[in-house]
Amino acid sequence: MIHTNIDIDVLYNSTSPVIRTILEKALRGEELSVQEGTALFHTDGKELEALLKTADIIRKGKVGDTVSFVITRNINFTNVCYMGCKFCAFSKRMEDSDATFLTFDKIARRSQEAWDRGATEVCIQGGLHPKIKGDHYRNILKTIKDQVPDMHIHAFSPFEIWYGSKLSNTTPEAFLKDLKDHGLGSMPGTAAEILDIEVREQLTQDKLSADEWAHIIKTAHNVGLRSTSTIMYGHVDEPRHWAAHIGRIRDIQKETGGFTEFVPLGFIHYDAPIYLEGKARAGPTYKENLQMHAVARVMLNGWINNIQVSWVKMGPEVAQKLLQGGGNDLGGTLMNESISRAAGAPHGQEITPAEMVRIIRGAGRTPVQRNTIYEVVEKYDDHNPLYHQPLVKRCSEQAERITNIC
C-alpha cells in the first residue's frame, strides 16, 4: 500500500464512487481490468485530477523523483517503403526525388559522430525497401560494431524483423539470434500502433497483424533481447482500444519480462495520408495525452516501471507537464529525427543533454542520464552535462520554443 496524503483524500471525495474505487484499488497495488482502465480514460475535471495524482504517487513509489534520458542518435537508413501504411508520411517510392538510402560508410560516420557527442546508443530503423536482401540488417550491425564496438545498437522494429526473416527464408527466431550474434542489443517495440484488428485494418495495408507483432516481440525477449513497448493513439481509435492495448502489453510482460518501458506516441496528423483523406482525427487532445500516460502508469503498475514521455511528439512544454502525471523518462536526445518530422511534427529533431537537464529540473525533478536498459550513466544533481551545439541547425521558431521551456 502506498501511503497517501490529505490532498489525494480531498480529490477522491470529489470523484464518483466508481472512479474512487478504481483509483484506491490502484494505490493498493491491485491489478486493474481493461474495463476499469477504459473508465479512467473517460475522466474529466476533478476525476482526471485525481487520476493524475494517483499516477504521480505510484510513479514516485516505483522510481522516485529522478527523470531519465538517453543520449542517442536516430539513423533511419532508408525512407523507401512500399507497404502503404495510411498513417505514415515518412515512406517514399524509389523513384521519388527525396528517397534516401544510406550507404554503410554514411551509417558508420553517423555512428562515430554520435559516439563522439556522448551517445551510448544508436537507434536504427528504416522502411521495407524492395531491393535489399535479408543480410542487409546484419551488415548494418557489423558496420556499426566495426566502427564503434562499444555502441549499443537499438534496432529494427518487429515489422523489419518479419521482413528480414522472409527475405532470408528463415524464422524470426533464427533471424533474431543471428542479429544478436552480430551486435543487436535491443529492439524498439514500434509498429504496434493499436493491437486491435478493427483499428489495424483501417491504418495499414498488409501490415503485420497484432498476433504476429506479439509473436516477434515475445521471440525477441526469449532469445535475450529487451525491447520497448509502444502505442500510437489519436487517429481512428477509441478509449476501449487503448485500455485493451495496454492490457495486452501487460500480458506479454507477465510472460516474458522483456519490456524496458512503455512509450505512448500521439498520432502526428499534419501530413499523414489518412488524415488528409478525412478519415482520421487530428491526433490526441491534451487531455487524452494526460490520460494516456496516467492510465498506463496505473495499469502497468508492478510490471513496467518506466513510462516515457515523447518530447518529439508533444513538444518539451507538454512533456514537462506529463512528468507530473505518471511519466519518469524523456526518451532520447535523438540528434536526427525523421519519422515524426516527415508527418509534420513541429518540435525539432534534437534536444541536447544540457537542454534535457534544464527541462527536467524545470519540472522539479532530478535529471539522470541512463543507458538503453535503464542503468544510470550519470546523475546531474549538482552539475550540468558538457554543452554541445545542436547537430542540426534550428529554425528560429524551434530555437525559441526550446529556449523558453529550458
Question: What confidence score (pLDDT) does residue 90 get?
Answer: 67
Alpha helices of 223-302 — where are they, by DSSP H? 239-256, 273-276, 286-299
Question: What confidence score (pLDDT) does residue 367 get?
Answer: 98
Give me the chain's average pLDDT, please: 90
Instruction: Give yes or no for a contact between 213 and 163, defined as CB atoms under 8 angstroms apart.
Output: no
Question: What confidence score (pLDDT) does residue 93 get?
Answer: 73
What are the grid coordinates assigned to 295, written together?
A: 492510465
How many C-beta neighbours within 10 Å does residue 133 have?
12
pTM of the model: 0.91
Question: What confidence score (pLDDT) does residue 122 get?
Answer: 98
Question: What confidence score (pLDDT) does residue 91 get?
Answer: 66
Q: Tell me the CA distances in angstroms from 62 to 1, 3, 228, 298, 327, one per residue in order.
A: 12, 13, 18, 11, 11
Question: What confidence score (pLDDT) does residue 394 get?
Answer: 55
Question: What confidence score (pLDDT) does residue 387 get?
Answer: 79
- The domains located in the chain, with CATH, are 6-62 (no CATH), 63-405 (3.20.20.70)
- CB environment 254-268: b (16+ within 10 A), e (fewer): eebebbbbbbbbbbb
What are the grid coordinates assigned to 31, written together?
A: 491489478
Q: Residue 385 corresponds to which amino acid?
A: P
Question: What confidence score (pLDDT) does residue 5 get?
Answer: 52
DSSP secondary structure of 203-227: H-SS---HHHHHHHHHHHHHTT-EE
**CA diameter of the chain:** 63
Residue with cell 534534437: 350
Question: What confidence score (pLDDT) does residue 337 get?
Answer: 46
With vertex at residue 262, the alpha carbon angle to CA 79 and CA 172, rounded to the nearest 5 degrees, is 55
Q: Which residue has the higher pLDDT, 19 or 345?
A: 19
Question: What confidence score (pLDDT) does residue 398 get?
Answer: 53
Backbone angles phi and psi of 383, in degrees to 5: -155, 175
pLDDT at 245 over 60: yes
With vertex at residue 119, the alpha carbon angle to CA 264 and CA 62, rounded to the nearest 5 degrees, is 45
Q: How confident is the model over 131-157, as a mean pLDDT?
A: 97
Question: What confidence score (pLDDT) does residue 269 get?
Answer: 86
Q: How confident is the model over 362-366, as a mean pLDDT?
A: 94
With vertex at residue 214, the alpha carbon angle to CA 209 and CA 218, rounded to the nearest 5 degrees, is 150
What percentage of the chain exceeds 70 in pLDDT?
A: 90
With vertex at residue 258, the alpha carbon angle to CA 253 and CA 260, rounded to the nearest 5 degrees, is 95
Instruction: Give yes or no for a contact between 73 and 334, defined as CB atoms under 8 angstroms apart.
Output: yes
Backbone angles phi and psi of 310, in degrees to 5: -90, 100
Query: Band of the pLDDT at 3, cuts 50, 70, 90?
Result: very low
d(CA 16, CA 352): 43
Instruction: Give yes or no for a contact between 335 and 391, defined as CB atoms under 8 angstroms apart.
Output: yes
pLDDT at 404 over 80: no
Query: Band of the pLDDT at 389, cuts 50, 70, 90?
Result: confident
Query: Band of the pLDDT at 145, cuts 50, 70, 90?
Result: very high
Query: Band of the pLDDT at 349, cuts 50, 70, 90?
Result: low
Instruction: Give yes or no for a contact between 127 and 77, defined as CB atoms under 8 angstroms apart.
Output: no
pLDDT at 138 over 50: yes
Question: What confidence score (pLDDT) does residue 4 get?
Answer: 47
Q: Which residue has the higher pLDDT, 10 or 56?
A: 56
256 HSE (CA, 13 A, CB side) = 25
pLDDT at 126 over 80: yes
160-190 tens-digit pLDDT: 999 999 999 999 999 999 999 999 999 999 9
pLDDT at 231 over 80: yes
Query: Band of the pLDDT at 204, cuts 50, 70, 90?
Result: confident
- Segments of 286-403 assigned E as strands: 329-332, 366-370, 376-379
Question: What confidence score (pLDDT) does residue 2 get?
Answer: 41
Comparing 109-113, 195-199, 214-218, the range with the smallest average pLDDT is 195-199
With vertex at residue 111, the alpha carbon angle to CA 179 and CA 379, rounded to the nearest 5 degrees, is 100
What are the grid coordinates assigned to 48, written together?
A: 482526471
- The closest of 190, 173, 193 to 242, measured between CA atoms, is 193
Instruction: Give yes or no for a contact between 199 and 161, defined as CB atoms under 8 angstroms apart.
Output: no
- The closest of 158, 182, 184, 183 to 172, measured between CA atoms, is 158
Q: Which residue has the higher pLDDT, 169 or 92?
A: 169
Helix (H) or strand (E) holding 99: none
d(CA 318, CA 322): 6
- Segments of 292-402 assigned E as strands: 329-332, 366-370, 376-379
